[in-house]
Amino acid sequence: MATTGFSMATREVNGSGMAALLAAGIGSMAMGAAVLLNEAGILVAPTLYAPAGGVSGRTTLATIVWLVAWAVLHNRWKAREIAPGRVGALTLILVALGLLGTFPPVWALFG
Protein backbone atom coordinates (compact mmCIF):
# COMPACT_ATOMS: atom_id res chain seq x y z
CA MET A 1 0.00 0.00 0.00
CA ALA A 2 1.28 3.45 -0.85
CA THR A 3 2.64 5.42 2.04
CA THR A 4 4.50 8.65 2.32
CA GLY A 5 6.93 7.28 4.90
CA PHE A 6 7.25 7.46 8.63
CA SER A 7 6.38 10.75 10.18
CA MET A 8 9.29 12.26 12.02
CA ALA A 9 7.49 15.46 12.87
CA THR A 10 5.18 16.13 15.76
CA ARG A 11 2.12 16.62 13.53
CA GLU A 12 -0.55 13.99 13.70
CA VAL A 13 -0.33 11.28 11.04
CA ASN A 14 -3.42 9.86 9.37
CA GLY A 15 -2.51 6.15 9.55
CA SER A 16 -4.93 5.20 12.32
CA GLY A 17 -7.83 6.84 10.52
CA MET A 18 -7.00 5.30 7.17
CA ALA A 19 -6.68 1.90 8.85
CA ALA A 20 -10.16 2.24 10.38
CA LEU A 21 -11.75 3.31 7.10
CA LEU A 22 -10.06 0.62 4.99
CA ALA A 23 -10.92 -2.03 7.59
CA ALA A 24 -14.58 -1.04 7.28
CA GLY A 25 -14.27 -1.68 3.55
CA ILE A 26 -12.70 -5.07 4.22
CA GLY A 27 -15.50 -5.89 6.67
CA SER A 28 -18.09 -4.94 4.08
CA MET A 29 -16.39 -7.12 1.50
CA ALA A 30 -16.26 -9.98 4.02
CA MET A 31 -19.99 -9.66 4.61
CA GLY A 32 -20.75 -9.76 0.90
CA ALA A 33 -18.39 -12.69 0.38
CA ALA A 34 -19.86 -14.65 3.28
CA VAL A 35 -23.36 -14.23 1.85
CA LEU A 36 -22.38 -15.04 -1.75
CA LEU A 37 -20.34 -18.11 -0.79
CA ASN A 38 -23.25 -19.30 1.33
CA GLU A 39 -25.72 -18.83 -1.52
CA ALA A 40 -23.39 -20.67 -3.90
CA GLY A 41 -23.05 -23.51 -1.37
CA ILE A 42 -19.26 -23.12 -1.28
CA LEU A 43 -18.79 -22.01 2.32
CA VAL A 44 -21.58 -22.15 4.86
CA ALA A 45 -20.78 -20.29 8.07
CA PRO A 46 -21.85 -22.26 11.14
CA THR A 47 -25.08 -21.22 12.80
CA LEU A 48 -24.20 -19.69 16.16
CA TYR A 49 -27.74 -19.08 17.39
CA ALA A 50 -30.24 -21.59 16.03
CA PRO A 51 -33.38 -19.43 16.30
CA ALA A 52 -31.75 -16.79 14.09
CA GLY A 53 -30.37 -19.33 11.61
CA GLY A 54 -27.36 -18.94 9.35
CA VAL A 55 -27.36 -15.14 9.48
CA SER A 56 -25.89 -15.36 12.99
CA GLY A 57 -22.82 -17.17 11.66
CA ARG A 58 -22.36 -15.05 8.54
CA THR A 59 -22.57 -11.72 10.34
CA THR A 60 -20.32 -12.88 13.17
CA LEU A 61 -17.73 -14.14 10.68
CA ALA A 62 -17.73 -10.84 8.79
CA THR A 63 -17.51 -8.88 12.04
CA ILE A 64 -14.49 -10.91 13.14
CA VAL A 65 -12.79 -10.34 9.77
CA TRP A 66 -13.48 -6.60 10.12
CA LEU A 67 -12.04 -6.38 13.64
CA VAL A 68 -8.97 -8.46 12.81
CA ALA A 69 -8.30 -6.41 9.67
CA TRP A 70 -8.70 -3.22 11.70
CA ALA A 71 -6.28 -4.42 14.40
CA VAL A 72 -3.66 -5.49 11.87
CA LEU A 73 -3.90 -2.32 9.77
CA HIS A 74 -3.92 -0.11 12.86
CA ASN A 75 -0.81 -1.79 14.19
CA ARG A 76 1.00 -1.35 10.88
CA TRP A 77 -0.12 2.18 10.02
CA LYS A 78 -0.58 3.98 13.33
CA ALA A 79 2.71 5.87 13.05
CA ARG A 80 2.57 6.48 9.31
CA GLU A 81 1.17 9.07 6.99
CA ILE A 82 -0.83 7.11 4.40
CA ALA A 83 -1.53 8.42 0.91
CA PRO A 84 -5.29 8.83 1.07
CA GLY A 85 -6.18 8.55 -2.62
CA ARG A 86 -5.53 4.87 -3.21
CA VAL A 87 -6.72 3.79 0.22
CA GLY A 88 -9.92 5.78 -0.23
CA ALA A 89 -10.55 4.34 -3.67
CA LEU A 90 -9.87 0.80 -2.44
CA THR A 91 -12.20 1.31 0.52
CA LEU A 92 -15.05 2.47 -1.71
CA ILE A 93 -14.50 -0.41 -4.14
CA LEU A 94 -14.59 -2.95 -1.29
CA VAL A 95 -17.76 -1.39 0.12
CA ALA A 96 -19.41 -1.52 -3.31
CA LEU A 97 -18.44 -5.17 -3.81
CA GLY A 98 -19.64 -6.04 -0.33
CA LEU A 99 -22.99 -4.41 -0.95
CA LEU A 100 -23.37 -6.25 -4.23
CA GLY A 101 -22.82 -9.52 -2.37
CA THR A 102 -25.61 -8.75 0.07
CA PHE A 103 -28.05 -7.70 -2.66
CA PRO A 104 -30.46 -10.62 -3.20
CA PRO A 105 -30.87 -10.25 -7.01
CA VAL A 106 -27.11 -10.81 -7.36
CA TRP A 107 -27.38 -14.16 -5.60
CA ALA A 108 -29.29 -15.59 -8.54
CA LEU A 109 -26.15 -15.21 -10.65
CA PHE A 110 -24.22 -17.51 -8.29
CA GLY A 111 -26.88 -19.72 -6.80
80 near other proteins (CB under 8 A): no
Select from 42, 43, 53, 93 the one that contacts other proteins (CB under 8 A): 53
61 near other proteins (CB under 8 A): no
62 near other proteins (CB under 8 A): yes
Q: Which of 91, 86, 31 is nearest to 58 (CA)?
A: 31
64 near other proteins (CB under 8 A): no
Strand, coil or helix: 46: coil
49 near other proteins (CB under 8 A): yes
Select from 14, 45, 57, 77 the one that contacts other proteins (CB under 8 A): 14
Written as one letter, the residue type at 38 is N
Phi, psi dihedrals of residue 10, rounded to the nearest 5°: -85, -10
73 near other proteins (CB under 8 A): no
Residues 18-37 that bind other proteins (CB under 8 A): 20-21, 23-24, 27-28, 31-32, 35
> Do the Cβ atoms of 15 and 82 come closer than 8 Å?
yes
Bridge partners for 82 per DSSP = 3
Bridge partners for 6 per DSSP = 80
Name the residue nearer to other proteins (CB basis): 8 or 11.
11
